[in-house]
Structure 1
Amino acid sequence: SPNDAPRILRALSVLEETGRPLASFAAAPPVADWRGIALTPDRKSLYARIDARFAAMLRAGALDEARALLARGLDPGLPAMKAHGAPWLAAHLRGEIDLAEAARRAQQDTRRYAKRQFTWIAHQLGPGWLRLTAEAEDRRLAGALAQLDQP
Structure 2
Amino acid sequence: LGTGDRQRLARAYEVYLATGKPITDFQKNRQPPVLKDGEWIGFALTPPRAKLYQKIDRRFEGMLMQGAMEEARQLIKRDLDPELPAMKAHGMPWLAAFARGEITAEFAAENAKRDTRRYAKRQFTWIGRQFPFWPRIPSPEPEDRLRVILALYREIDSPVEADYS
TM-score scaled to structure 2, two decimals? 0.74
Q: Which residue of 1 aligns with 2:150?
A: 142
Over alpha carbons, which structure has the higher Rg?
Answer: 2
Contact 2:12-2:23 at 8 Å conserved across structures: no
Q: Which runs of 5+ in 2 are unaligned?
A: 159-165
Q: Identity over aligned residues, as a percent?
A: 49
Q: Which moved more, 1:87-96 or 1:46-55?
A: 87-96
Report the CA distance between 1:42 and its aligned residue. 1.2
Q: Which residue of 1 aligns with 2:48?
A: 42
Q: Which runs of 5+ in 1 are unaligned?
A: none
Q: How many residues align?
A: 147
CA distance in 2, matches of 1:97, 1:6: 28
CA distance in 1, matches of 2:109, 2:130: 31
- Quick one: which of 13, 16, 32 aligns to 2:36? 32
CA distance in 1, matches of 2:11, 2:126: 17
Residue pairs, 1:13-92, within 5 angstroms: 13=15, 16=22, 19-21=25-27, 32-33=36-37, 34-92=40-98
Report the CA distance between 1:89 and its aligned residue. 0.7
Report the CA distance between 1:146 and its aligned residue. 2.4
TM-score scaled to structure 1, two decimals? 0.80
Report the CA distance between 1:144 and its aligned residue. 1.9
- Quick one: which of 116, 120, 145 aligns to 1:110? 116
Contact 1:76-1:82 at 8 Å conserved across structures: yes
Contact 1:35-1:148 at 8 Å conserved across structures: no
CA RMSD of aligned residues (A): 3.0
More relative contact order, 1 or 2 (CA 8 Å, 6+ apart)? 1
CA distance in 1, matches of 2:62, 2:69: 11
Q: Which residue of 2 aligns with 1:130?
A: 135
Quick check: which one's helix share is greater?
1
Cα displacement string for residues 69-109 of structure 1 (whole angstroms, at most 9, x for unaligned residues):
00001111111111111110111111211001100110011
